[in-house]
Chain A
Amino acid sequence: MDITLKVNGTERRLAVDVRTTLLDALREHLDLTGTKKGCDLGQCGACTVLMDGQRVLSCFTLAVAAEGTEITTIEGLAGEEDPLHPMQQAFLEQDAYQCGYCTPGQIMAAIACVHEGHANSDDEIREYMSGNLCRCGAYPKIVAAVRQAKPLMERA
């Protein structure tokens, strides 16, 4: 069926199966492959995107259900030549990743974590970032990245 998705500020028309997830729509129909598939079961968080500013698992959201919402993916945070979003910059500087596969989901979840007001202490960050698995084990540096980016985001 034909749908229109508003992704990173741009309206995109696409034809999808009713069963197509938002994740597959982004990756396979819109070539926005920054959002990753790690389990397709809502278990790992690699597919996290923002929908109307809230974090959602795009593998657990049907594309048709995303019509009429504002979707932000990792590609929407900074243009190719632009300065990075403070959270992206913090992940880069803290080495808060290794393979980088869970990283887009971690960054989107981390931005939401700050916006939700769930980044007030290391313990709180750990708890509210626990929906995003990192098999390389970058967790302490992810906490440090969120801590680094939070004041910069609040100032912006």
Chain B
Amino acid sequence: MPDGNQAAIGQPALRIDGRAKVTGRARYASDEVVANPAWAFLVTSAIARGRLRGFRLDEARAVPGVLDILTHENVGGEAEKPKPMAGGDTTTTLESDRIWHDGQIIAVVVAESFEAAREAAHRVRPDYEEEAPSASFGSPGAEEEVRKAGEHKDYKVGHADSAFKAAEYKVDQHYGTPTQHHNPIELFTTTCAWNGGKLTIFEPSQFVYGLRGGLAKQIRMEAQDIHVVSRFVGGAFGSRGAATARTAWIAIAARRLGRPVKLVATRDQGFTIVTYRAETRHHIQLGATRDGRLTALRHEGWEVTSRPSQYNVSGTETTARVYACPNILTKVNIVHADRNTPGFMRAPPETPYMFPLEVAMDELAVALRMDPVELRRINDTGTDPATGRRYSSRSLMPCFDQAAERFGWSRRNPVPGSMREGDWLIGWGCATAAYAANIGPAAVRITLEPAGKARVQIAAHDIGTGAYTVIAITAADRLGLRIEDVTVELGDTELPAAGLAAGSSHTAGICNAVAKACAEIRARLAGAATVTNDGPLIGLDPATLTLRDGALHGPGGRSEPLARALARVAPGALELYSENIPKGLPPESIDKAYQGQMSMSRGHSREDVTAYTFGAQFVEVRVHERTREIRVPRAVGAFAAGTIINPLTAHSQYMGGMIWGIGSALHEETEIDPKAARYVNDNIAEYLIPVNADIRSIEVIMVPERDEEVNPLGIKGIGEIGIVGMNAAISNAVFHATGRRIRNLPIRIKDLL
């Protein structure tokens, strides 16, 4: 379809919001100006399980400037608990006297100033009726159940148990991953302002319509009366999807007061008032022939969740289909403890589940005395072994080969501990990365002006991904304009709905919608230009006309300026609204987006093909012989994700994902007091994330890939895959350096003593 030149798509472009970001003029939610706000400060539970008998509030009320204190006793009936995006039920906050987890919101203090609200919050005296809590796996009182098939499926292909028993080579091991918290640098903030019966909310969000729809149900309002604004988001990583508990109470506080109320929750509160990545356990059994062919794969997972939630990530959806294998069995269990409800965090299923699979593959390679890259090659497949469907495209081995070449893998001596430099033991490891290619529905409004400027309005979200810029690139490409002639408005429920910015689905969803709208504009202009009685394009086949360089072009050098073509169909600017429903999703999915419900076509559950992004990740670690300090001097990742709209921001995303992987493998763990069921290191000095000095060379290779089946623009997701293989690649590199096989993350000095 000749919808325009391809000059902009695929060319690196600086962020169109870059100047706003480097000058401090980008307004994040808590930067938005509201008149005369009062300040809220949350009071959170100091126990993990029990009930509230009541509160002593006299001391708090006596603090000068205190305006209101919300508890279950005075506002409990005014809201319902939020509905999470997955897992069904969740815990309550002020709706009842029940305490489900440590750090649960139990009161909200509102005052004239932040300082007064904070002081008064510390003077609220809750009276607890405490019960002994269960912290995690193995805690007395934790309840384990088999996860039933629903949001996620189990796979049974062939006879995994008997095939495993009969296998010549086996790996049979247990693995574990820790609790992790997103910790975006922007805190969890909410500002609510009422104007009559209408509510405006400024809150960092990955899904403004989801926040609107969810909150409307919670506080029993019409969704149309709620306006959510989230123009810039200071990191999200899954933590800002659905409405969470705080928003309703801030809205109610503002309504009671008749004045805007602003909340900037503290860093430690961010560990308990939103979601997190729950700790997992795994049992993996791999069976293989002498030449390395997998004959059996059995993967059983255990995941922690809150008491009422069924939330689980079931990464077996991916581990069951990465390698050719005739006998597959997967199973997932959930363990309920007295904890806040977990939720999506960057590559939610794959980060914890690909770690055990890819370490097990390395263990199998060692048992077989085979190069781990060759083991992947032997088990590569063009067919999804879990369902028998074809992969729409799969470039796993080109990724391995290009990354291996860049890394210098052929110089690796496979004997553990054999490579060293001075006091440093050197280890090289690798792993496969895989992430489903997902896409959601989106609507968009494009206004094209005679002067050759376009405005694109879409309630999409730029959480650092470069969404503003890829939208501008796509519109420029398809309308034949310069990127600087396109303005983009995002993050506002007054704009056409786009889905959730998550699951590496957003660029595919929004750019395909923009391209479709542009195609409709081109068709309108071309249709009119070819049937007019004035102009050079009369009589041509409209399908042959293209928009480029500010003009409508036909074959044979015939063209007319955009302004003339436009004047024929619209008196001034042409405004066009368009909806895009990806293949496989029902027509009502766009209405669902407006209602704030998530709908997504997932790469592992399509009817036609299985669609995945693949990658290969290589890491060098250095372990100090005496101190056992672990460093990562370099990492190379190669990824094939179909069409890359903006290689500049794609590089940043892949790189950021790999740095997340270094954090995940070596630094990050939320530690839980086993008796109190309380997060211990709930700040970003003790919850370790990589700092600048932890990161050295990160190389990203974008392996070219065309996929005409995944969606019209051929876009697969890139936001998450960068982290997926890193946990295992680092663990495998540590084994190579030291001979120590570490199956529980993070890998710390104590594991290597």
B256 to chain A, nearest CB (A): 22
A33 to chain B, nearest CB (A): 4
Q: Identify which of B335-343, B450-458, B692-700 touches chain A.
A: B692-700
Scan residues 118-156 of chain A and give those whose CB is less than 8 A from a CB of chain B.
Answer: 125-127, 129-143
Flag whether B712 is at the interface (Cβ < 8 A).
no
Q: Which residues of A contact B27 (CB under 8 A)?
A: 33
* Cβ-defined contact, B689 with A130, below 8 A: no
Partner of B114, one of A24, A77, A104, A136: A24
* Cβ-defined contact, A136 with B464, below 8 A: yes
For A85-98 the 0/1 string (1 means CB < 8 A from B) is: 00011011101011
B457 to chain A, nearest CB (A): 21
* Cβ-defined contact, B185 with A38, below 8 A: yes
For B645-662 the 0/1 string (1 means CB < 8 A from A) is: 000110111011111100
* Cβ-defined contact, B684 with A142, below 8 A: no
Q: Please judge, given known A-B contacts A36-B185, A126-B692, A139-B690, whether A97 and B21 are in contact too, CB under 8 Å.
A: yes
* Cβ-defined contact, B185 with A27, below 8 A: no
* Cβ-defined contact, A17 with B113, below 8 A: yes
A sample of 16 more A-B contacts (CB under 8 A), given A37-B30, A100-B21, A127-B692, is A31-B33, A32-B24, A33-B30, A35-B24, A36-B186, A38-B185, A74-B23, A80-B23, A100-B22, A100-B232, A126-B692, A126-B696, A136-B464, A137-B660, A140-B698, A142-B692
For B28-43 the 0/1 string (1 means CB < 8 A from A) is: 1011010000000000
* Cβ-defined contact, A84 with B23, below 8 A: yes
Q: Which residues of A contact B483 (CB under 8 A)?
A: none
For B502-523 the 0/1 string (1 means CB < 8 A from A) is: 0000000000000000000000
- Complex Cα–Cα for A28 and B691 (A): 29
Q: Please judge, given known A-B contacts A20-B115, A133-B684, A139-B692, whether A99 and B235 are in contact too, CB under 8 Å.
A: yes
Q: Which residues of B contact A139 (CB under 8 A)?
A: 659, 690-692, 695
Work out how many contacts link A and B, with CB atoms closer than 8 A: 180
Flag whether A14 is at the interface (Cβ < 8 A).
no
Q: Identify which of B11-19, B275-283, B416-424, B549-557 touches chain A.
A: B11-19
- Complex Cα–Cα for A129 and B695 (A): 12
For A6-47 the 0/1 string (1 means CB < 8 A from B) is: 000000000001011000100110011111111111011010
Flag whether B62 is at the interface (Cβ < 8 A).
no
B68 to chain A, nearest CB (A): 19
Q: Please judge, given known A-B contacts A41-B267, A137-B656, whether A73 and B697 are in contact too, CB under 8 Å.
A: no
Partner of B692, one of A27, A41, A91, A132: A132
Query: Which residues of B pack against A, CB within 8 Å?
Result: 14-15, 17-28, 30-31, 33, 113-116, 182-187, 232-237, 264, 266-267, 463-466, 648-649, 651-653, 655-660, 683-685, 689-693, 695-698
Q: Please judge, given known A-B contacts A39-B684, A95-B649, A98-B464, whether A133 and B31 are in contact too, CB under 8 Å.
A: no
Q: Please judge, given known A-B contacts A93-B14, A139-B690, whether A102 and B185 are in contact too, CB under 8 Å.
A: yes
Flag whether A60 is at the interface (Cβ < 8 A).
no
A104 to chain B, nearest CB (A): 5
* Cβ-defined contact, B183 with A135, below 8 A: yes
Flag whether A58 is at the interface (Cβ < 8 A).
no
Q: List 5 A-B contacts (CB under 8 A).
A: A43-B685, A75-B23, A91-B22, A100-B22, A101-B184
* Cβ-defined contact, A101 with B692, below 8 A: no
B634 to chain A, nearest CB (A): 11
* Cβ-defined contact, A99 with B464, below 8 A: yes
Highest count of chain B CB atoms <10 Å: which of A44, A100, A125, A129:
A100
- Complex Cα–Cα for A140 and B463 (A): 20
- Complex Cα–Cα for A66 and B636 (A): 46
Query: Which residues of A pack against B, CB within 8 Å?
Result: 17, 19-20, 24, 27-28, 31-41, 43-44, 46, 73-75, 77-78, 80, 84, 88-89, 91-93, 95, 97-104, 107, 125-127, 129-143
Q: Which residues of A contact B233 (CB under 8 A)?
A: 99
Q: Which residues of B contact A125 (CB under 8 A)?
A: 692
- Complex Cα–Cα for A24 and B37 (A): 14
* Cβ-defined contact, B683 with A138, below 8 A: no
Q: Which residues of A contact B653 (CB under 8 A)?
A: 98
Q: Which residues of B contact A84 (CB under 8 A)?
A: 19, 22-23
* Cβ-defined contact, A92 with B690, below 8 A: no
* Cβ-defined contact, A134 with B185, below 8 A: yes
- Complex Cα–Cα for A84 and B22 (A): 9
- Complex Cα–Cα for A32 and B116 (A): 22
- Complex Cα–Cα for A104 and B660 (A): 22
Q: Which residues of B contact A104 (CB under 8 A)?
A: 22, 24
* Cβ-defined contact, A92 with B684, below 8 A: no
Nearest chain-A residue to B184 (Cβ)?
A: A135
